[in-house]
Amino acid sequence: MVKLELEIPDELEKEIKEFSEDWSRIALEAIKLKIFEFELKRSRKLRHLLFKALISKSKFSEKDALELGRKINESPV
């Protein structure tokens, strides 16, 4: 396992010390989430699967979901 060292501004360090949390675990979860976001942007198939999961419990029709997906795919971000 690799160790990662972060530089944290003094003000943020003060805020962190106010909470007794497992900050290593929180940072790891944040990194995993960001990787998922990058993969989602990169993978059309993954976006499709995510939308399928979302619409399975939605009142959106498949047509509505496809239109939303088209708009997302066209967005520059």
What is the mean pLDDT of the segment spanning 4-10?
93
pLDDT tens digit sequence for 8-61:
999 999 999 999 999 999 999 999 999 988 888 888 888 788 778 877 777 777
What was the pLDDT predicted at 27? Answer: 93
Dump the DSSP string for 39-72.
HHHH-HHHHHHHHHHHHTTSSS-HHHHHHHHHHH
Q: Which is nearest to 72 in space by CA: 41, 49, 46, 45?
A: 41
- pLDDT recorded at residue 14: 94
Looking at residue 22, what is its pLDDT? 94
Reported as type and span, the H/E element at residue 23 is helix 23-42
Contact (Cβ atoms closer than 8 angstroms) between residue 22 and residue 14: no
- The answer to pTM > 0.75 is no
